[in-house]
A and B are shown apart, each in its own frame.
Chain A
Amino acid sequence: MITKMTITNIHVIDQDSAYDFYVNKLGFKLVDDFPMGQGTRWLTVSPPEQPDLQLVLFPVTVSKMFPKEIAENLIDLIKKGIFGCGVLTCKDIHATYEELKAKGVEFIKPPTKEFYGTDALFKDDSGNYFSLQPINNFDNENDI
Chain B
Amino acid sequence: MTTEQYPKVYLYRRIVQAKLFIDNNYADKIDLNNISNEAYFSKFHFIRLFKSAYGKTPHQYLKYVRIEKAKELLKKDTPVSEACFLVGFDSLSSFSGLFSKVVGKSPSTYLKHHQENQKKISLTPLAFVPGCYAYQHGWLENSNFEETDI
For residue A34, which residues in chain B have a CB less than 8 angstroms away from its CB?
Answer: 121-122, 125, 128
Residue of A nearest to B139 (CB): A36
A-contact 0/1 string along B1-15, CB 8 Å cutoff: 000000011011101
- A65's closest neighbor in chain B, by CB? B136
* Distance in angstroms between the alpha carbons of A35 and B126 in the assembled complex: 10
Q: How distant is the Cα of A9 from the Cα of B53 in the complex, in angstroms? A: 30
**CA distance in complex: A138, B122 (Å):** 48
Chain A minimum-CB-distance residue to B8: A144
Q: Which residue from B53, B72, B139 sits with its C-beta under 8 Å from A37?
A: B139
Task: Tell me the interface secondary structure of chain B in the complex.
Answer: helix
Q: Tell me the bound Cα distance from A144 to B126 in angstroms.
A: 48
A142 neighbours in B (Cβ, 8 Å):
52
**In the docked arrangement, what's the CA distance between A56 and B128, Å?**
13
Report the tally of A-B residue pairs with Cβ distances under 8 A: 68
Of A7, A34, A97, the most chain B CB neighbours within 10 A belong to A34
Residue B49 at the chain A interface, CB threshold 8 Å? yes
B104 in the interface (beta carbon within 8 A): no
Sample of 21 A–B contacts (CB below 8 Å) = A34-B128, A35-B125, A36-B126, A36-B134, A36-B139, A40-B139, A58-B133, A63-B136, A63-B138, A64-B136, A94-B8, A94-B9, A94-B12, A95-B12, A95-B15, A95-B54, A98-B9, A98-B12, A99-B16, A99-B19, A144-B12
Chain B positions near chain A (C-beta within 8 angstroms): 8-9, 11-13, 15-16, 19-20, 49, 52-55, 68, 72, 121-122, 125-126, 128-130, 133-134, 136-139
